Chains A and B, each alone.
Chain A
Amino acid sequence: MKAIKIAFLVVAVVFVWFAQNHFDPYAVSILNNIAIFAILALSYNLINGVAGQFSLEPNGFVAIGAYVTALFLIPAATKIDMFALDAPSAGVLAMHTSFLPALIMSGVVASILAFILSIPVFRVRGDYLAIVTLGFGFIIRIFAMNQPTYTNGALGLNDIPEKANLYWTGFITIVTFVIMLNIIYSKYGRAMKAVRDDEDAAIAMGINTFWIKTYAFMTSAFFEGVGGGLMASMLTTIAPDQFTFLLTFQLLIIIVLGGLGSMSGTILGAVLVMGGTEWLRFLDQNMDIFGYNTGAHPGLRMVVFSILLIVLMLFARRGLFGNKELVDVFRRSK
């Protein structure tokens, strides 16, 4: 059992190293994108799939992470030039660190906000929770839009130093994956699942469900913040419009496809959704089918992708992995 886990880890690490050194830049950028979405989806799956709290706020935490990292990385002189709408505030100018502390700060800020948010949010359950968290996502984006002294408003932030490469994104994905599994296979993970299955019965087992949900929410927010930071550094430019509800929606597709509550499934989901939309790009271009030129149909890619998603979900109702992990498959066969 232990040998299999270590083998998985070694393969993952070697793959990251090999890809960074030997793949062409286009493939590396796709892998970067997959890795970042995997981090975001893994953490989203903890609150949504494992703890069963249907929340719709990750775009908010990703935005916070992206802005915090960006502001920490951009040098003060560049900030003064860049902030066109209003002069940057003194605090914003003073922010400057290297990449790793910036990422950690992104996570910490996001998870502190998650803690504050959890006090009102976890007073409601089910559909109401979804609406309240959805509102939070909107608030963050509107804040970014209307506070030019901190965020440069709708213009966004440019010239973010490009620090993220596959080592960063790949290794953080692996670390996130391992941490999520460690949580799931502990008393806290069990309690989260108990809250998902039957909250009242969980309370009758002496579990303080508010704290369990808050733990899940804060952990989820931490890695969404870190993922946002990686995203900012990879894209080198961010603006409020990148962090709309569509981002949350994309993550939702990944975790539902992979299986709610399954971290292994989430990785596969991220590869299929992010990789699949890239791979299907040939559909947008001119195609020759038996000598007949179809002409270019921009957007055909997304049509085909949606059909594939529907077919996949019809055959795997509970996602590709259900709520099982890859290690469970090996455990069963023993």
Chain B
Amino acid sequence: MVLELQNITMQFGGVKAIDDLSFGVKTGEIYGLIGPNGAGKTTLFNIVTGNYTQTKGKVAFNHEELSGLKPNMIVQRGIARTFQNIRLFKSMSVLDNVLIGFHNQANYTYLESILRLPRYFLYEKKLKSDAMNILERFGIADHAQTNAASLSYGNQRKVEIARALATNPKLLLLDEPAAGMNPNETADLSQIIQNIKDEYGLTILLIEHDMKFVNNMCDKVLVLDYGEEIFEGRPCDAIVDEKVVAAYLGDFKHA
């Protein structure tokens, strides 16, 4: 198990966003997190990344407890994320966006950058070629010097994933990676995600509403509704599960 959540409860005032949830993600798996809007999927991401502190329960990453760590420390442990609404660094070039992901791998001090000592040049050169490598994988190397905000929506998504990948993660959290994409772009993206997963030996936890995408990609899904688990298993079984259908479309039988 790369990621293990035990009895997680998250309470905002009187609202229980997540209620006593437990699940685990195995190494090398693509694990899907689905459910209607407001089911608590993004809240769960925020708990894993340390943005929220859960009311109850434990999160373990590679058998180490994550609770109490600051979000930037959790990234350094090897959990990277993308955001539901794309959050690129808009004033910067695509290359700089990816270079920011490499921040902690650039091993030179503040003084070394001010005085331009050899280590500065050494690492900047290495990281620039690493960053270009990642951009090539995503097929956006031509846009390296372009301002990130002026890219198409699909390409901005790619930059966001490329940037997360630059932090050298073991576990990648993707929050609706295919949202707002046309079928061609979605197919392209799932191919890229498969490729990088194999190449970097990643485990992926993703939130997605596009069921075709989930069906193609995920080894396993967890369906949430009102912060509670209603189904865990293979995606093809999820679509025919009574409770899942009821959660999405309403309960016709008992109406």
Question: Interface residues, chain A, CB within 8 Å of chain B?
Answer: 179, 182-183, 186-191, 193-194, 196-198, 200-209, 215, 261, 323
Q: A179-B114, A182-B116, A207-B72 known; A201 and B89 CB under 8 Å?
A: yes
Stretch from B29-37, B60-68, B91-99, B246-254 that touches the partner: B91-99
Distance of B54 from chain A, by nearest CB (Å): 18
With contacts A191-B100, A205-B101 known, what are 18 further pairs, Cβ within 8 A? A186-B124, A187-B99, A187-B103, A187-B113, A188-B113, A189-B113, A190-B100, A191-B103, A194-B100, A198-B87, A201-B87, A201-B88, A204-B75, A204-B164, A206-B101, A206-B103, A206-B167, A261-B91
A206 nearest in chain B by CB position: B75
A207 nearest in chain B by CB position: B103
Enumerate chain A residues within 8 angstroms of B91, measured Cβ to Cβ: 193, 196-197, 261, 323
User: Which one of A190, A197, A198 contacts B103 once the chains associate, using CB atoms below 8 Å?
Assistant: A190
Enumerate chain B residues within 8 angstroms of A187, measured Cβ to Cβ: 99, 102-103, 106, 108, 113, 123-124
User: Which one of A186, A193, A201, A206 contacts B104 once the chains associate, using CB atoms below 8 Å?
Assistant: A206
In Å, the complex CA distance between A108 and B108 comes to 22
In Å, the complex CA distance between A201 and B102 comes to 14
Enumerate chain B residues within 8 angstroms of A186, measured Cβ to Cβ: 108, 113, 120, 124
Enumerate chain B residues within 8 angstroms of A204, measured Cβ to Cβ: 49, 71, 75, 80-81, 83, 164
Could you list 21 examples of A-B contacts with CB < 8 Å? A179-B114, A182-B113, A182-B116, A187-B99, A187-B113, A188-B113, A193-B89, A193-B91, A194-B92, A198-B87, A200-B51, A201-B87, A202-B100, A203-B71, A204-B71, A204-B75, A204-B164, A206-B75, A206-B76, A206-B101, A208-B70
A322 nearest in chain B by CB position: B91
Instruction: Confirm or deny: B12 has a beta carbon within 8 angstroms of a beta carbon on chain A.
Output: no
Number of interface residues of B (CB under 8 A): 37
Enumerate chain B residues within 8 angstroms of A200, measured Cβ to Cβ: 51, 87
Enumerate chain B residues within 8 angstroms of A209, measured Cβ to Cβ: 72
Distance of A318 from chain B, by nearest CB (Å): 10
Enumerate chain A residues within 8 angstroms of B75, measured Cβ to Cβ: 203-206
Question: Interface residues, chain B, CB within 8 Å of chain A?
Answer: 49, 51, 70-72, 75-76, 80-81, 83, 87-92, 96, 99-104, 106, 108, 110, 113-116, 120, 123-124, 163-164, 166-167
A179 nearest in chain B by CB position: B114
User: Which one of A179, A193, A205, A323 contacts B167 once the chains associate, using CB atoms below 8 Å?
Assistant: A205
In Å, the complex CA distance between A189 and B103 comes to 11
Distance of A120 from chain B, by nearest CB (Å): 18
A203 touches B72 (CB 8 A): yes
B92 touches A190 (CB 8 A): yes
In Å, the complex CA distance between A200 and B104 comes to 16
A188 touches B87 (CB 8 A): no
Distance of B234 from chain A, by nearest CB (Å): 31
A193 touches B87 (CB 8 A): no
B112 nearest in chain A by CB position: A186
In Å, the complex CA distance between A193 and B89 comes to 8
Q: Which 6 A-B pairs have the closest CB atoms?
A: A186-B113, A206-B75, A197-B89, A201-B87, A187-B106, A203-B71
Enumerate chain A residues within 8 angstroms of B106, measured Cβ to Cβ: 187
In Å, the complex CA distance between A203 and B75 comes to 8
In Å, the complex CA distance between A202 and B164 comes to 11
B90 touches A197 (CB 8 A): yes
Distance of A284 from chain B, by nearest CB (Å): 41
Distance of B115 from chain A, by nearest CB (Å): 8
Enumerate chain A residues within 8 angstroms of B167, measured Cβ to Cβ: 205-206
A218 nearest in chain B by CB position: B110
B113 nearest in chain A by CB position: A186
Distance of A199 from chain B, by nearest CB (Å): 10
Distance of A332 from chain B, by nearest CB (Å): 9
In Å, the complex CA distance between A205 and B164 comes to 7
Enumerate chain B residues within 8 angstroms of A179, measured Cβ to Cβ: 114
Enumerate chain A residues within 8 angstroms of B70, measured Cβ to Cβ: 208
A188 touches B100 (CB 8 A): no
Enumerate chain A residues within 8 angstroms of B103, measured Cβ to Cβ: 187, 190-191, 205-207
Distance of B96 from chain A, by nearest CB (Å): 6
Distance of B245 from chain A, by nearest CB (Å): 34
B71 touches A190 (CB 8 A): no
Enumerate chain A residues within 8 angstroms of B51, measured Cβ to Cβ: 200
B167 nearest in chain A by CB position: A206
Enumerate chain B residues within 8 angstroms of A191, measured Cβ to Cβ: 100, 103
